[in-house]
Amino acid sequence: MNLLTEKFYIDGKWVESDSGKTVTIINPANGQILANVHQASKEQIKQAIAAADKAFKETWGPMPAIQRSRIMHKIANLINENIEGLSAIETNNVGKPIIESRNVDIPGAADTFEFFANVSVDILGNTIPSPFGNAVMDYTIREPLGVIGAITPWNFPLLLAARKIATSIAAGNTIVIKPASLTPLSTLALGKIFDAAGLPAGVVNIVTASGRDIGEAFASSTTIHEVTFTGSTSTGTELMRQCASSRIPCTLELGGKSPAVICEDCDVEEAVAGTLFGVFINQGECCCGLTRLIVHQNVYDEFTSKFVSAAKKIRVGNPMDEKTQMGPVVDAGHLETVMEYIDSGKSQGATLACGGIRLAGDEFAKGFFVEPTVFTNVTPDMRIWREEIFGPVVTITKAKDNDELIELANDTDYGLAASIWTKNLKTAHWMSAKIEAGTVWFNLHNFLFPAAPYCGFKASGVGGELGKQSLIAMTKTKNVMINLMQDTFKWY
Ligand code: ADP
């Protein structure tokens, strides 16, 4: 299947920009142009919302859940059948190593459609005992919300689009989704899969447009019933403010500054291997990725020296190479942001234990490659401790005891995820109760799967994704009461 397209997808048709505006998409590994993608005008965004509304009312909303589920299973199968093509698109556009696209992102997207296809036939209401005995029967049904507006970021384009689309349509909603302007190609490719799976026109509309235009269009629409956003805390907060004026509810999956709590009784080798994965997968461009390693003083030296020497061995290079373990960051602007954070760490007095430079030389010359970077002697007043860097940069900080480990872990505005590294189950449970984060891992980090809920606490989000609860959140409750009285009800 030819998965590449420069057009966007409205009402089952591939559409060009009516203003002729396109955005050039670049491969961050070598600066090559991948595509010039059409940008929807404000009028075309409105057409997409109208198409979703029509499909909700005429085809997808009324369709029995089992039929919707069958189409979603076809989508999952087609994603799996096109794993190589989709992986290449994702790696070329985002810069993530091909082994990650092939083993994490693309199969994860297929699993997401599969899981929500399965649970979509199990959205249950209740029968409510009435105070009138058999004379009045009461039950609830869960109805879809209507049209969902979705906005996704550039770090896991296909996987995060799959989450938003699968939960929306599994509940019987229709959707308008806008991928990040830097990385639209895999989400557009999904449109080809929807065509092949026989998804009715208008159920999913994929619109490439400016974030500002789409945010305004969603927030001012009377046919959008929910906005689901993944991206930065500042943009998400602004979007929620806009949506408040039309009373449109928002689900927000925002930033993170996730800590690893390395206890004195951990298995150091296991903690080093697991936290490396937690930090550097996807070049550190991961909302729940590890950014702060907080280490008990009794294992600090051993952990730090092993972690730094392992970080130095990570193979950075062409992400299409099977052996590459880390690719470039997503674009020139983001490279600049990451390098500014590295400079701030140095100038605020942290010790640069390894990395800290943009890679130069033939293989790297035209890409945006940063060496895996580790700072030690990091204190909570530093920007690299407080702010989300979203790149291959991690801080290591020493704590004197378990209480200080937790205190430092919670010393952040964010609350997306955390991991605890210990062999002691009691310590792990005690700490997990104290940690302010929506996901807590023991001796593991960055493992997610569709059935497990994923919710950000504090500045990391509003509402949550994944798990059956996220499907239920895409429905509304209707209460139905039935008069079964033998005699006519008369009050007057
Ligand atoms: P990042 O800078 O990490 O990409 P953003 O929050 O800026 O994070 O972007 C996440 C998504 O939000 C992208 O799809 C982007 O185009 C979109 N976006 C940017 N500005 C707005 C806005 N004002 N309203 C709605 N969406 C926006």
Residues in the chain: 492
The residue whose CA has the least distance to atom 4 of ligand 1 is 153
236 and 336 co-located in one domain = no
Q: Kindly state whether residue 392 falls inside one of the protein's structural domains.
A: yes
Per the CB < 8 A criterion, the answer to whether 483 and 477 are in contact is: no
Q: Kindly state whether residue 488 falls inside one of the protein's structural domains.
A: no
pLDDT in tens, 333-385: 999 999 999 999 999 999 999 999 999 998 899 999 999 999 999 999 999 99
Q: Kindly state whether residue 348 falls inside one of the protein's structural domains.
A: yes
Residue 451 half-sphere exposure toward CB, CA atoms < 13 A: 4
At residue 362, the pLDDT reads 87
60 and 204 co-located in one domain = yes
* Catalytic residue (one of 100, 226, 253, 465): 253
Nearest to 254 by CA among 232, 226, 239: 232
At residue 226, the pLDDT reads 98
Ligand 1 atom at minimal distance to the Cα of residue 218? 25
pLDDT in tens, 392-430: 999 999 999 999 999 999 999 999 999 999 999 999 999
Q: Kindly state whether residue 133 falls inside one of the protein's structural domains.
A: yes
Per the CB < 8 A criterion, the answer to whether 15 and 206 are in contact is: no
- Percentage of the chain modeled with pLDDT above 90: 99
395: tokens are 């801080």
Q: Kindly state whether residue 453 falls inside one of the protein's structural domains.
A: no
Nearest to 200 by CA among 66, 86, 79, 63: 63
86 and 194 co-located in one domain = yes
Cβ of 161 below 6 Å from ligand 1? no
At residue 130, the pLDDT reads 96
pLDDT in tens, 179-207: 999 999 999 999 999 999 999 999 999 99
313 and 231 co-located in one domain = no
Cβ of 214 below 6 Å from ligand 1? yes
Query: Where do we find the tokens 């919707």?
Result: 68
Q: Is the pLDDT of residue 100 over 90?
A: yes
136: tokens are 């009045």
Residue 136 burial (C-beta neighbours within 10 Å; 0-12, 13-18, 19+) = middle
At residue 470, the pLDDT reads 97
243: tokens are 């949506």
Q: Are strands 22-26 and 33-38 parallel, antiparallel or unpaired?
A: antiparallel
Q: Kindly state whether residue 487 falls inside one of the protein's structural domains.
A: no
212 and 274 co-located in one domain = no
At residue 191, the pLDDT reads 98
84 and 123 co-located in one domain = yes
127 and 49 co-located in one domain = yes
**Dist CA 171 CA 121 (whole Å):** 9
Chain centroid to CA 388 = 15
263 and 223 co-located in one domain = no
Q: Is the pLDDT of residue 87 over 90?
A: yes
334 and 400 co-located in one domain = yes
Cβ of 235 below 6 Å from ligand 1? yes
Q: How far is the centre of ligand 1, averaged over its atoms, from the C-alpha of 350 (Å)?
A: 31
The residue whose CA has the least distance to atom 21 of ligand 1 is 211
Hey, how many other C-beta atoms are within 10 angstroms of the C-beta on 138? 15
**Dist CA 492 CA 486 (whole Å):** 18
Using 50, 70 and 90 to split pLDDT, how confident is the model at 71? very high
Phi, psi torsion values for 283, nearest 5 degrees: 60, 20
The residue whose CA has the least distance to atom 16 of ligand 1 is 211
Whether this prediction's pTM lies above 0.95 is answered by: yes
Mean pLDDT for 244-260 is 97
| Whether 287 is catalytic | yes
* Mean pLDDT, the chain, whole residue set: 98
Contacts of 85 (CB under 8 A, 6+ apart): 1, 3, 189
Q: Kindly state whether residue 449 falls inside one of the protein's structural domains.
A: no
212 and 275 co-located in one domain = no
At residue 490, the pLDDT reads 97
Nearest to 11 by CA among 149, 204, 166, 194: 204
146 and 210 co-located in one domain = yes
Partnered with residue 396 across adjacent β-strands are: 293
Question: Which structural domain range is residue 229 located in?
Answer: 8-254+460-479
44: tokens are 């075309």
Q: CATH number of the domain that 406 lies in?
A: 3.40.309.10
pLDDT in tens, 106-157: 999 999 999 999 999 999 999 999 999 999 999 999 999 999 999 999 999 9
Contacts of 426 (CB under 8 A, 6+ apart): none
Per the CB < 8 A criterion, the answer to whether 420 and 435 are in contact is: yes
| Whether 253 is catalytic | yes
150 and 173 co-located in one domain = yes
- Percentage of the chain modeled with pLDDT above 70: 100
Q: Number of structural domains, the chain?
A: 2
